[in-house]
Amino acid sequence: MRRLLLAVCCVLATVPLVPSPARSQTLRIALREDPDILDPTLARSYVGRIVFAGLCDKLFDIDEKLQIIPQLATGYEWTDSKTLLIHLRSDVSFQDNEKLDATAVKYSLERHLTLQGSFRRSEISTIDHVEVVDPLTVRLVLKTPSAPLVAQLTDRAGMILPPQAAEAEGKDFGLHPVCSGPFKFTERVAQDRIVLDRFAGYWDAGTIHFERVIYQPMPDTSVLLANLQSGSIDLAERILPTDVAAVQRDPKLRIVTSPALGYEGITFNLHNGDRSKAPIDQNALLRQAFEAAIDRQALVQVVFNGMYKPTAQAVSAASPYYIASIRPPPRDLARAKALIQQAGVPTPIAVTMNVPNTPDRTQEAEVIQSMVHEAGFDLKLNLIEFASSLQAATQGGFESYLIGWSGRVDPDGNLYTFLHTGGGQNDGHYSSATVDEMLDQARQATDPDARRGFYTTMWEALRQDLPIIYLQNPVNIVGLSAKLTGFRPVPDGLIRLQGLAAAKP
């Protein structure tokens, strides 16, 4: 037995001597999930977009202030409300050395629009057709005016693929993608790592300071934290607010935050099947009372360590379309009780809420439960696995649903599909003539002031109807090695590799 213990100790003692691979040239990034397919046309996941940030450049990008800036394009102009002219850089090659030109842009946009299973189609469906004006200019002719279109081209819909490679690979393109970004695809081991190597022919090569990037999925947050603390990874996205203090205590690490684009809130089932017959779904006064009973500030403090921002609207305060006059109301129990009395519904009022069974959402729901209880609501929590909760939402199997949205650059992406009559994710089947009209108008108005006006009118109607009680805007929390410099916190939460460098020891 003694010998055995000795042997085990010897094995353990030799292991730390195992040399670790050269690290200075490699950047290791932890992702909270394993991305889905790496094809910009077919991809759906948020983490996939983080990998694309290293792999595929886009026509446009956004900066820290959510301004649209050129990337593969040099600029754009609206020649009329339905014609968008995009000018391209002349010095861009794909990672297989094919030249990026107007033909490739036309090919890629058409692929997004027509490839079977494309998830980009709905994002750019206002495009009627694409014309090549000259090798460095494309013209997008639209079916209807579309204010959100350019913002869509700052994401996967704006990623340009090499026509030859994409055509040859078809739907398997995502198994070995080729793009025009700073790093080229090397290998992927599902659920373990995605390895990208520096692309020497990158048009903006001067901004790239690593030879290799490895993305590693780490779904468990304590494991992710341990990896960050032990230096096995250099950067981790979406650190939990409750883990921030632990990262800050470590002198080798630092935290960078930026307001995120999304929101979290409670969606009510107003007209989707039998479950919408619950009193709270039928009576806006009760929803107003429910909201008045919630203390958003306390909620954020308890569940999200005070890091998320209480809100009453779907766009983040970072957006130019955040309407400053729509503020989250403070908790007012007297008002909540008065509203219930006005509604004439006897208490306790039973309400069921579907809650995806993650720890933070569960805790959030429990805090809400105790807050609204004081106003006279008997809130029952239906904890449910995420995929099942989505199905229940679509099929009307809910009275209320605690759910969030990752957010889009343009406000339209956070509003239209959720609030417009017949919208794809309007799970509660909310329908309001005013809201519909304002959403349609805002979608077509290219003048920012006019759009803000439409959205203000829309919010005034929504504040009365409350089909969704918006609770808070999340914050992107990135934990990174203190040695890393040049990290840019952009509200979309993606990790841009341009400018990122390791300080010399």
Chain positions contacting another protein, by CB under 8 A = 1, 4, 8, 11-12, 15-16, 18, 20, 34-37, 44-45, 116-117, 119, 122, 171-172, 174-175, 189-193, 216-220, 222-223, 226-227, 229-232, 385-388, 390-391, 394, 406, 417, 423-427
- Least distance (Å) between residue 420 CB and another protein: 11
Closest approach of Cβ 217 to another protein, in Å? 7
Of 101 and 410, nearer to another protein (C-beta) is: 410
> How does 317-354 read in b/e, with b if 16+ C-beta sit within 10 Å?
ebbebbbeebebeebbbebbbebbeebebeeebebbbb
Nearest approach in angstroms of CB 284 to another protein is 24
Report whether 188 contacts 174 (CB < 8 A): no
Q: What is the DSSP letter of 276?
A: G
Decide: 140 and 149 in contact? Cβ < 8 Å.
yes
3 versus 449: smaller Cβ distance to another protein:
3
Tell me whether residue 34 or residue 57 sits nearer to another protein (CB atom): 34
DSSP 159: B
Please say whether the beta carbons of 475 and 308 come within 8 A: yes
| Straight-line distance from the first to the last Cα atom of the chain, in angstroms, rounded to the nearest whole number | 46
User: 173 or 290: whose CB is closer to another protein?
Assistant: 173
Give the orientation angle of helix 359-373 with respect to helix 296-303, to 10 degrees.
150
Q: Name which of 105, 114, 118 is nearest 76 in CA terms.
A: 105
Residue (178 or 326) nearer to another protein, CB: 178
CB of 50 to another protein, least distance (A): 15
CB nearer to another protein: pick between 125 and 457: 125
Please state, in angstroms and rounded to a whole number, the distance separating the CA atoms of residues 192 and 103: 36
Q: 252 or 327: whose CB is closer to another protein?
A: 252
Structural contact between residues 418 and 426, judged by C-beta atoms closer than 8 angstroms? yes
Least distance in angstroms from the C-beta of 472 to another protein: 20
Q: For strands 349-356 and 468-473, give the pairing.
A: unpaired
**Tokens of residue 139, six digits:** 């013209």
The DSSP code sequence of 66-108 is --EEESSEEEEEEEETTEEEEEE-SS-B-TTSPBP-HHHHHHH
Q: 118 or 473: whose CB is closer to another protein?
A: 118
**Least distance (Å) from another protein to the CB of residue 229?**
5
Write down the least CB distance from residue 289 to another protein, Å.
29
